[in-house]
Structure 1
Amino acid sequence: MSLDIEHIIVHSLFLDEQGQTQLATREQELATGPAVNRLMGELHHIYNTKAGKVFGYFSEEDTGFRDLVRRVQDQSLTFAAFSHLAAERLQAELQRLEMNEAGILLFVRYQWLGAHYLLIALLDNKDSVTVTDKLEVSHASYLDLGKMQLAARLDLTELQSRPDSHRYFSFIKGRAGRKVSDFFLNFLSCVEGMDPKAQSQGLLKAVDEYCAARQLSPEEKLESKALVSKYCREQLKEGEELELRELSAELGSDDDLDFYQFVSEEYQLEERFPVDRSALKGLTKYVGSGGGLTISFDQKLLGERIQYDAATDTLVIRGTPPNLKSQLQGQH
């Protein structure tokens, strides 16, 4: 499925000799073509499949960025002028917090699957070397898209149709040791809303209790959990969100109760949300760690190769994995 790029422009944040963040702006939008289309195709795919995104909405206290969005939407600002003002706002936020950042600042408005999006990303510009057509070694620079750490996307269609939503913004949570909220959320006039990890954990609880409510056998319960896991992993692979109605159809139902009805009555789950990859293990595995010990095994093994005695808090494993067995034998 192709993207329709409506507007795209890049600017540059760089550090001067004093280590202060400076801004260099481009006056005109980029012309679309094979290189720009490929860039956006890769960027869109990476953003969609990036794990750990968080959702948010515009703050009521700081309306600066929202006002810029409104002006570009009603065409009282050109897209280029909007990007200049937004870039200056980001630079000012960095200076206010005494933070230094450098990279290529990209603004793009595009259409995908009938919805309009505004994507803003600060991309790392890396230095490398290449071999030219004349077989000469030459210096080269490239955008390191795979390590994109600072990016946010505004769903303009949802903002217009559901202004009270708490999820029309999505953003990538900062880099190691620092949260993006240090400056990026302030720049966007955005506050955190829906938490996909909490939604995913709520889903796991709902699946467990739904299986109990239907009085499924242990085997049927494992099959149901495996179906949920398969559906979630397929959605993750495609960069799509979990849809409760779709998942309910995958699980099937008896005459009295289906999964969608069950969660609608008792759980505060969104109609759709991105699955948190780390939470999926809880569907098919038992996982635990502490005191220098980490254990993970398929739930179907409990009662077969693995026995748990609650009275003595003892776990008995019959048939250790070959690589673990060889390590243990090497100690004797």
Structure 2
Amino acid sequence: MIHELIKTAGTITSSVNPADKLLPASAEVVIKLISELDKLYGTKENTAIYGTFSKKDPTNQFSKYTELFIDDQSESKFLAFSKQGLNEIARESRGQQSATGGYIVFSHYHNSNAQPFLLIVMIKNKDALKINQKLELEDVIQIDLSKIHQAARINLDKFDKSKEIPSNPSDEISTLNYLSFVSPRSNKDASGYFIKGLDCIDGVRPAVATDNVFKSAKAYCNTKNELKAFRNKVKDSLIEYLQHCLDNEKPATLAGLEHSVRQAVPAEHHELLNDYIDFVSNEEWQLPTEFNINSNSLKKYTRIRSKTDSWELNFRRKALGTTDNSDLYYDDNARKLTIRCSDDLVKQIAEELGSRNAS
């Protein structure tokens, strides 16, 4: 269904024009609209940020109405859910002089993989939709990114599963991000009220994001036969990029990841990387536009550690090889690791053995 938020830039007041009935789900024009919006959601130019409801503001009841609809997916509950979302967005827009109104589309649908979603999209350019005074949709003009001001989407399967996970803010792994939101770059500074109104909060933690950089890159290469041979080079290039970001206390970015992957792949295969960002920022991998790096997660991909009561090893994975000219030569048949000693290590060993002979 479609509601309208009425607000003029430069003012601090707003009002709402809510619809009083749902749009027919089987109507061709409605199917076309939701299909267009779903295709645009989370593209390279419009990457998603994944998270959860914050539930920190007791006056914001949007998450409560979402749960009420999930428990009883009737038309009346969906209408209540959408009106609550409209009211929360309107409330947050008041006092924001730069905020402007537009049409807000609320939809409940299943994607091509039969996953259920709730999608909320604000369309600022009214030329994108042809709507009558009853807020009934009559036509959909070709929608482009410039007409999508802001959007939020709730994965209902993940939202349901999240209620089974104990809340532990210190746990880097257990958070299940069921909610995501997007905004074209040109609109991000002016659209904070939409995100706040729907109670969204960024939930992708550095440990998970760092781990998913490598998991998603491996999965992506495996989807294209021509890239499989470059998986290790891609991994090494990503390690170098993330380590550089960590050393310089800078966040990693999707653009930086893509650049690193392209450096590891011959130019004749670069066309195969055109949908890399779409792939790693999807519902499965959830890499945000930028994120901080977790040093412990990165070490899992850069170093090998092992110890016994007698010794301890800690070395870069790149130093390991299976030929005798490697810094660390592993003989699989003999199950032996041969270390090419540095001058300093030779000196320490000689001193230790010399002291033993002297005694």
Shift of 1:160: 0.9
Distance change >3 Å, CA 170–CA 195, structure 1 → 2: farther
The letter of the residue matching 1:170 is: S
Shift of 1:114: 2.4
1:59 aligns with 2:87: no
1:43 aligns with 2:77: no
Aligned length: 223
- Report sequence identity in percent: 23
Larger fraction in strand: 1
Alpha-carbon contact 1:149-1:175 (below 8 Å) kept: no
Shift of 1:86: 1.5
Instruction: State how far apart, in whole Å, the 1-side matches of 2:62 and 2:24 are.
Output: 25
Distance change >3 Å, CA 55–CA 179, structure 1 → 2: farther
**Residue correspondence of structure 1 range 157-168 to structure 2 within 5 A:** 157-163=157-163, 164=165, 165-168=175-178
Shift of 1:82: 1.5
**Residue correspondence of structure 1 range 1-332 to structure 2 within 5 A:** 9-15=1-7, 19=11, 20-32=13-25, 33-50=27-44, 51-62=46-57, 64-75=61-72, 78-112=77-111, 113-127=113-127, 144-147=143-146, 148-163=148-163, 164=165, 165-173=175-183, 175-176=185-186, 178-179=188-189, 182-194=192-204, 199=210, 202-203=213-214, 207-208=235-236, 225-226=264-265, 233-234=274-275, 236=277, 241=282, 266=300
Offset from partner CA, 1:302-321 (integer Å, 9 cap, x none): xxxxxxxxxxxxxxxxxxxx
Alpha-carbon contact 2:119-2:153 (below 8 Å) kept: yes
The letter of the residue matching 1:233 is: N
Distance change >3 Å, CA 15–CA 199, structure 1 → 2: same
Report SS of the residue matched to 2:264.
helix
| RMSD, aligned α-carbons | 4.4
Instruction: State how far apart, in whole Å, the 2-side matches of 1:222 and 1:59 are.
Output: 34
Shift of 1:265: 7.9
Distance change >3 Å, CA 239–CA 36, structure 1 → 2: farther
Residue in structure 2 matched with residue 328 of structure 1 by the alignment: none
Structure 1 gaps of 5+ residues are 1-8, 129-139, 213-220, 245-262, 269-332
The letter of the residue matching 2:79 is: A
Instruction: State how far apart, in whole Å, the 2-side matches of 1:18 and 1:180 are.
Output: 12
Moved more, 21-30 or 89-98: 89-98
Shift of 1:183: 1.1
TM-score, length of structure 2 as denominator length: 0.50
Offset from partner CA, 1:216-239 (integer Å, 9 cap, x none): xxxxx9999329977653455679
Shift of 1:207: 0.8
Shift of 1:96: 4.6
Instruction: State how far apart, in whole Å, the 2-side matches of 1:189 and 1:53 are.
Output: 16
TM-score, length of structure 1 as denominator length: 0.54
Structure 2 gaps of 5+ residues are 129-138, 166-174, 218-232, 241-259, 286-296, 303-359
Alpha-carbon contact 2:99-2:190 (below 8 Å) kept: no
Report SS of the residue matched to 2:68.
helix
Shift of 1:97: 4.0
Offset from partner CA, 1:125-181 (integer Å, 9 cap, x none): 3449xxxxxxxxxxx995744321311111111111234534211111454374366
Shift of 1:202: 4.9
Alpha-carbon contact 1:14-1:22 (below 8 Å) kept: yes
Shift of 1:182: 2.3
Moved more, 44-53 or 106-115: 44-53
Alpha-carbon contact 1:16-1:22 (below 8 Å) kept: no
Offset from partner CA, 1:40-92 (integer Å, 9 cap, x none): 11111111425332111111413621111011112285211221121111111
Larger fraction in helix: 2
Distance change >3 Å, CA 96–CA 107, structure 1 → 2: same
Report SS of the residue matched to 1:93.
helix
Offset from partner CA, 1:93-125 (integer Å, 9 cap, x none): 111545532111000011121211111010023
Instruction: State how far apart, in whole Å, the 2-side matches of 1:184 and 1:235 are.
Output: 28
Instruction: State how far apart, in whole Å, the 2-side matches of 1:101 and 1:21 are.
Output: 9
Distance change >3 Å, CA 61–CA 242, structure 1 → 2: closer
